[in-house]
Structure 1
Amino acid sequence: MSRFSTLKKAALVAAMGLGLIGQASLVAAEEWKFALEEISGSVQDAYAQKFKQLVEQKSDGKISVTVYPYGALGESEDLTELVANGVLQFAHGSTGILGSTAPSMQVFSVPYLLSQDNQVNLKVLTESPTIYGPMADKLKTRNLRLLSMYPEGEMVWTTNKVVRKPADFDNVKMRVMASPMLVETYKSFGAVPTPLPYSEVYGALQLKMIDGQENPIFAIEEMKFYEVTDVLTWSGHQQFTVAVLSSESWYQGLPAEQQKIIDETVTELGPYIFDTQAQYNKERLAKIQQLKPGIELVRLNEEEQAAFRKASLPMRDKLVELAGPEAGATLQALEKEIAALEQQ
């Protein structure tokens, strides 16, 4: 065999070896599972897909993130349980559901808590010493690590009549999540709160089992709630706020470089998801208006909002009654943080 042939064969063997090493690295890529409370194309999906992209880039492909849309692994309660048990690495968690573990989480059900300025909300929801101190510590008792929080958009009422004052809610059955605070909130507004699973809302609206519901615009569009409603109302009372969770024990068991990847990714995603949710809600409203030109859009003015704000004032005492004095202290602390940031 010639020297050239020998070198050629050696090069081929070396190339094959590199290929096998590459294949082995692909096979050995660590999988992280991320479950959503919403379907593909939602704000949560946008967050998870960007999380996937950044983690896989930062790890040079050594980590693969698999995103599971709503329903693939169960309802919201199931997802937090799977994270706590270490079956899932990441999930979104609604504050109402997390309130059973960390009662102070129910503070986000108090109407008119968050600022009308989302730059203030960005600062609070990603850096608050109240949220990432006592509140996060409470979640750790269930082996849940609070990585971040963000709003998916302003809650909008879908009804079949115009609601401009609490009296207009008389005998109106409004679907709510199974949260005592949300039930009491809609009682204070004058409505008849009706807890239902998210997956049953469209059918209940269609069959007139309920008269309305609340969700951000993007969710109203993707779940087609606009098809079975006549009026969309912006009341300014709340934003749908969601938590990003991982397993505390799993996180603590990771190598320092993988913890750093998670922390850096979550920090980068803060501003990204605030901008993304705003764009999603703007685009989805335009789509609703195109598909149903006759739908009525109502935006409560300051005076009209003030009436609902006043009606909901007893919710501060109700928070303490339902969730304990710790939740009341959390409310006061967050209100101070928000007020200070609004003055800057």
Structure 2
Amino acid sequence: MSKFSTLKKAALAAAMGLALAGQAVADEWKFALEEISGSVQDAYAQKFKQLVEEKSGGDITVTVYPYGALGESEDLTELVANGVLQFTHGSTGILGSTAPSMQVFSMPYLLSQNNKVNQELLTESPTIYGPMADKLKTRNLRLLSMYPEGEMVWTTNKVVRKPADFNNVKMRVMASPMLVETYKSFGAVPTPLPYSEVYGALQLKMIDGQENPIFAIEEMKFYEVTDVLTWSGHQQFTVAVLSSESWYQGLPAEQRKIIDETVDELAPYIFDTQAKYNQERLEKIQKAKPGIQVVHLTEEEQAAFRKASEPLRDKLVELAGPEAGTALESLEAEIAKLEQKY
């Protein structure tokens, strides 16, 4: 909240007053994003808005707030927990401070290369919607759904094909202990920075690279200040859709049904949409900067990073506790079973 302007503070204070007075359960639902308009999160929220308004016959309106309108990611989850906002997206690295087992999604090479497997896992997993979701409820956060926004891509100023190539490379990461440890294991120098500061830090050579799905690299123009795009296969950026638990439970049954049905319908939609967005944005980058180098690590090259990251299993338990280690084993078992299915 300290980053907000005086005007925003006043507006949010007024909203807080309404929420505490029990008037936030009105016909307007507020959905705040970690990303800008035109992003994958925006696509999700806009489709959510359309479906909710249709299903309610216009009795409910959904207002979508893009990145920066109401604060950084940490601010948004706090506003939802306090009942000021009704919905937001939450990065798993940030949610790990409340639900330590969420840190498993920072583990390299956890998710499947088959998104049919990932879709079922992220929308139906008994591990995710059992122990993980229960932990978030202790902070008054309701986990509605999860989905990947696309494969994480490195943008750097030199080609990185093996861990040794990361020597002395300052890579921006979110403020997540597991992400910091991941890039240490890869051989890089992890540098936590807010999302809004990444472009300037790249431009001023304060950092040498960063990771994000390709759609984010395009919309935030990170490709303008780096020369190489690398698909390493190490991770997909996974995000949670959150609501206020107490607000949700206080809704009439028909409104809870609208939310649940909408979230279920959005799962296949957003998986298809993120794939389309990332392909379109790659084409835009290549058109805007024809000389940018595109690198896809081979299976052998990926194996070197897999091996380098093996100690992270113990580091996960050290940083996030035994429940995170149990969650990792459970998710790996679920993924293996789903890969046989598909």
TM-score normalised to structure 1 length: 0.92
Contact 1:83 1:246 in 2 (8 A): yes
- Which position in structure 2 is the counterpart of 1:56? 53
- Which position in structure 2 is the counterpart of 1:15? none
- Which position in structure 2 is the counterpart of 1:286? 283
Pairing 1:313–2:310 present: yes
Pairing 1:297–2:294 present: yes
Contact 1:150 1:243 in 2 (8 A): yes
Select which of 173, 177, 187 maps to 2:174.
177
Pairing 1:228–2:225 present: yes
Deviation at 1:78, TM superposition (A): 0.2
Select which of 152, 155, 159 maps to 1:158.
155
- Which position in structure 2 is the counterpart of 1:237? 234
SS of the residue corresponding to residue 234 of structure 2 reads: strand
Query: 2:26, 2:122 → 1: CA distance?
Result: 32
Deviation at 1:173, TM superposition (A): 0.3
Contact 1:154 1:238 in 2 (8 A): yes
Pairing 1:341–2:338 present: yes
Select which of 89, 93, 96 maps to 1:96.
93
Query: 1:151, 1:254 → 2: CA distance?
Result: 28
Which amino acid letter does the alignment assign opposite residue 110 of structure 2? L
SS of the residue corresponding to residue 152 of structure 2 reads: strand
Query: 1:167, 1:283 → 2: CA distance?
Result: 32
Which amino acid letter does the alignment assign opposite residue 316 of structure 2? L
Runs of 4+ with >3 A deviation: none
Deviation at 1:256, TM superposition (A): 0.4
Q: CA offsets per residue over residues 228-251 of structure 1, 9 Å max, x none?
A: 010000000000000000000000
Q: CA offsets per residue over residues 26-56 of structure 1, 9 Å max, x none?
A: xx97000000000000000000000000000
Which amino acid letter does the alignment assign opposite residue 302 of structure 1? E
SS of the residue corresponding to residue 36 of structure 2 reads: coil
Q: Which has the larger radius of gyration?
A: 1
Q: CA offsets per residue over residues 273-309 of structure 1, 9 Å max, x none?
A: 0000000000000000000000000000100000000
Query: 1:200, 1:60 → 2: CA distance?
Result: 41
- Which position in structure 1 is the counterpart of 2:68? 71
Contact 1:189 1:312 in 2 (8 A): yes
Q: Structure 2 unaligned runs (5+)?
A: 1-24
- Which position in structure 2 is the counterpart of 1:274? 271
Contact 1:29 1:62 in 2 (8 A): no
Which amino acid letter does the alignment assign opposite residue 43 of structure 2? A
Query: 1:264, 1:197 → 2: CA distance?
Result: 34
Deviation at 1:343, TM superposition (A): 1.1
- Which position in structure 1 is the counterpart of 2:9? none
SS of the residue corresponding to residue 105 of structure 2 reads: helix
Which amino acid letter does the alignment assign opposite residue 269 of structure 1? L
SS of the residue corresponding to residue 46 of structure 1 reads: helix
Pairing 1:144–2:141 present: yes
In structure 2, do the counterparts of structure 1 residues 265 and 160 end up closer, same or farther at CA, with 3 Å as the change threshold?
Answer: same
Structural RMSD (CA): 0.8
Pairing 1:219–2:216 present: yes
Q: CA offsets per residue over residues 58-92 of structure 1, 9 Å max, x none?
A: 00000000000000000000000000000000000
Select which of 97, 120, 137 maps to 1:123.
120
Pairing 1:31–2:28 present: yes
Q: How many residues align?
A: 317
- Which position in structure 2 is the counterpart of 1:332? 329
SS of the residue corresponding to residue 297 of structure 1 reads: strand
- Which position in structure 2 is the counterpart of 1:198? 195
SS of the residue corresponding to residue 256 of structure 2 reads: helix
Query: 2:196, 2:86 → 1: CA distance?
Result: 24
